[in-house]
Each structure stands twice: as structure tokens, then as C-alpha cells.
Amino acid sequence: MKFEDLNLNKPLLNAITDMGLINPTPIQEKAFSTIMSGRDVIGIAQTGTGKTYAYLLPLLRLHKFSKEKHPRVLIIVPTRELVLQVVEEIEKLGAYMSVRALGVYGGTNMNTQRKLVEEGLDILVATPGRLYDLAMSRSLRLKNVKKLVIDEVDQMLDLGFRPQLINILDLLPEKRQHLLFSATMTKEVEAIIDTFFNDPEKIEVAITGTPVEKIDQSAYTVPNFYTKANLLKYLLNHDETMVKVLVFVGTKRLADRLFELIQGEYGKALGIIHSNKAQNYRIKTVQAFHAGKIRILLATEIIARGLDVSEVSHVINFDAPEIKENYIHRIGRTGRADRQGIAITFFKAEELEMKAEIEAMMNKEITEIPFPEAVEIIEELVPDEIPTSAGDINYLPKVNLSSQGAFHDKKDKNKKTNRAHLRRRARAVEKKKARRKKKRK
């Protein structure tokens, strides 16, 4: 199928031609007519499948010029980077149309965004937290929203945005079309669909990225954080083909710790992104990694998943993923465009069961490489690895790192922990909802 075969109009076809796109991807082909028909759609697809255009094409095809101030299309995404990416895609696709799109996200001045909202817009792209704040401040009215897209909903829930998402869904008018996209279908995602969606059509596309057969996959068994850091340095210092290395670290705190530990050795060739890093820093870091200025990028799963970080020479799983499907998502970032990709995973001995599960899922073995003799094994553990009194490994963060945080960290007031104001507003919405319910009765 070609784009001409979809019921697109001239402005969209012109924009598509300018971008050099020829064939719609499977999700674009499958979703187009269903979304055009007004039916709710659930798309199970990850970044790289072309899912963004899968919803933008029909939405823009249905777009009509209007002087209306309040948005008629609302697109909710989990991270600021995605807000920027989606707005950019709307601008590209809408190059020959008159469409007003605005992106809003937390961590930046709300008054500036409030003023932009008040100038009037057709499509609003937003992260849940800021969207909710704006809706509560009354600058933003959601009563005109006819189409709602929730993109990367699984990641949104992972980030703890469930309450904001539910409150926003409650604020929206009842008659609206829902489009939801998620890389994975979890129980939480299903619960949201069951509550808010109306007989949706489910469209599923296969995981993209480099097929697993084309990725050279190996693994080391490594006992702890400090030994992993030694092995990582050893690999980086002995393998010259490691030119663009994406390193997945289990948590923000461990990523910060690793950054501090090896920064002296790699200097500006080392970058880090996670959700507590300031917006500008994150954007600059990803750009520098794309441009090849940063050789090694440390990232948490959450933040890396939605980003267009691909075609890397090596993916290193410094920490094994907690969910086996995420292994495929991570390693698919290496070796695009007919190039062989390389993925290396550090498993702890207690994670070898996960390794077996991943192998069974792929029906492919991950080659175990003997631990190099030249790499020093360290006994010392980081606080996250010290067994708790219950006897299990307390690997997830509970207390704050003793360090003051790097200069590029978000200000404390902007970190996600400080959300008292949101809780206050959520309580106000709860009260309003209760009043509405009472009235209905």
C-alpha cells in the first residue's frame, strides 16, 4: 500500500512527499480508517513502528480550520521529550495546513505556557502533571476536546501518573473518541481501557527495531555494582568498535552513581539522561549522542524508551531488565539499517532465571562470556545492594543519595516528589466529582 491509497488530502500528501515517506507502516495502514470512522482504538505498538503518524494522519485529515480558542484534540504523553517530538511531527505533517499545535510540560514556567494556551489552539500535546495544573488553573478548558490520544500509556503509569491521568479523563467531556497507544498491555492499562473506553478496536503490530536474529547477544555474570563498573570500563577501553554505546542502568540513583564513578575517566564523552535531569540538559545530551559527540550514554529504561535513540553500535544492559519484554525493546536500539547490532548484558547470579526466561521468549541463546581475568572483582556493595533485615536484596531505591546532586539536576521544587499542590488539587477534583455524582442521582 502507498500513502496515495489512504484517503488523505493534498496538504497531507504534500507534506509526506516532502518528508520522503512512501509507504505507510503496518500500524498506519491498519489504524487509519478505524480512527477516521470515529471508533475508539487501542494500538499495541512501540516507538519505531510509526505509531505517532498512525494517529496524527487521521487526526489531521479530520482537522478543520476553526477560530475556537480551546483545544479540540488532546494528546497526552509521558515525557517532555515526547511532547517536543510530537509537536515537531505535527508541524511537519501540517506544513501545508492551518493548524495550531502547542506543547506543554512540567519543569518550566507555567505562566508562559498559560499565556500561550490563552492565545488559542487546535491541538494540545501535554504531559499529565502540567496538563492537570493548567486545567485546574482554569486557563485551559477541556470541554471542547473531541479526540483524546494517550500515547505510551504503560510508561505514563510506570512514572506514577495514574492519578493525574484519571483526573484528566474525568474532566473531559463524555462524548469523545479515545485513542490509546502502549508498547505493552498490562493489567493497569487494561483497567483504564475498561473504565473509559467504548468498544475499542485493538490493533497490534509486531515489535520493530533490529530483529533479534541480527543482534549479536552476549552476557557476563557479574556479582555487584562496583564490579559491573569495572567490567564496563574494561569493555569500553578494550573495544574500539564501541563508538555509540547506550548503557541501561536500573534506577536513576544507580545511574547517577555510575556517572560520578566513571566521569573522571570519560569526561565529555559520557552523558546521562533520566527523569530527574533538567529539560535542557536532557535535550542537549540526546542531541550530542546523536551527533557522535557523546560516546557513552547512561540511561534509565523509562526515559530511553520514548526517545528516538537508535542506531547505536552497542547496547549494554548494565542492569538486567526487570520485565523480559523490555530486553527486546532495549536491544532493538542497536544495529539498525542492515548493520549487525551488539548487545551485552550483565546478569547477577540471582538473575540467571530471568536470562533463561528471555532466552525462552526469543527462542535464542544469549552467549555467556567468561568473566575477564583482568577485571578486578570488588566485594563492597552500594547501599541499594545491601540485604535488608528481611533477607532479600533491596535493590530499589528508598533513601536519597548522600551527594548533593549534579548541577544539571532539576531543582528540588521541580522534582516529582514535591507534589503537595497536586494532591490538594486532586482532592478538590474528588470533591467536585462527588458533588456531580450526587446531582446525577
| Residue ranges that bind ligand AMP, judged by CB under 6 A | 21, 23-25, 28, 47-53, 308
**CB 45 to ligand AMP: min, Å:** 7
Report the residue number, 43 or 271, with the smaller CB distance to ligand AMP: 43
**CB 348 to ligand AMP: min, Å:** 32
The residue assigned the cell 556493595 is: 381
Strand partners, 334: 312
Which residues lie closer than 8 Å to 143 by C-beta, 6 or more apart? 70, 173
**CB 219 to ligand AMP: min, Å:** 28
Report the residue number, 48 or 335, with the smaller CB distance to ligand AMP: 48
Give one DSSP letter per residue of 241-298, joined into a string.
T--SEEEEESSHHHHHHHHHHHHHHHGGGEEEE-TTB-HHHHHHHHHHHHTTS-SEEE
**CB 21 to ligand AMP: min, Å:** 4
Measure the CA dihedral 24/29/33/39, to 10°.
-120
Report the residue number, 52 or 326, with the smaller CB distance to ligand AMP: 52
Which residues in 295-332 are b (16+ Cβ under 10 Å) and which e?
Answer: bbbbbbbbbbbbbebbebbbbbbbbbbeebebbbbbbb
**CB 151 to ligand AMP: min, Å:** 9
**CA-to-CA dists, residue 372 to 2, 52, 218, 248, 265, angstroms:** 51, 43, 14, 21, 20
**CB 209 to ligand AMP: min, Å:** 10
Distance CA 383, CA 380 (A): 10
Phi, psi angles (nearest 5°) of residue 316: -115, 120
Strand partners, 346: 220
Report the residue number, 53 or 161, with the smaller CB distance to ligand AMP: 53
Phi, psi angles (nearest 5°) of residue 421: -65, -35
Task: For residue 205, give the nearest of 182, 178, 228, 174 by alpha carbon.
Answer: 182
Report the residue number, 53 or 346, with the smaller CB distance to ligand AMP: 53
Report the residue number, 74 or 142, with the smaller CB distance to ligand AMP: 74
**CB 311 to ligand AMP: min, Å:** 11
SS3 (DSSP) at 219: strand
Measure the CA dihedral 340/312/309/59, to 10°.
-20
User: 344: buried, middle or exposed (CB in 10 Å: 19+, 13-18, 0-12)?
Assistant: buried
Which residues lie closer than 8 Å to 261 by C-beta, 6 or more apart? 229
Report the residue number, 68 or 308, with the smaller CB distance to ligand AMP: 308
Spatial contact of 333 and 312, defined as CB atoms under 8 Å apart? yes
Distance CA 209, CA 227 (A): 30
Report the residue number, 99 or 149, with the smaller CB distance to ligand AMP: 149
Spatial contact of 313 and 242, defined as CB atoms under 8 Å apart? yes
Report the residue number, 47 or 79, with the smaller CB distance to ligand AMP: 47
**CB 310 to ligand AMP: min, Å:** 9
Report the residue number, 21 or 261, with the smaller CB distance to ligand AMP: 21
**CB 303 to ligand AMP: min, Å:** 15
**CB 53 to ligand AMP: min, Å:** 5
Report the residue number, 91 or 368, with the smaller CB distance to ligand AMP: 91
**CB 54 to ligand AMP: min, Å:** 7
Spatial contact of 282 and 273, defined as CB atoms under 8 Å apart? yes
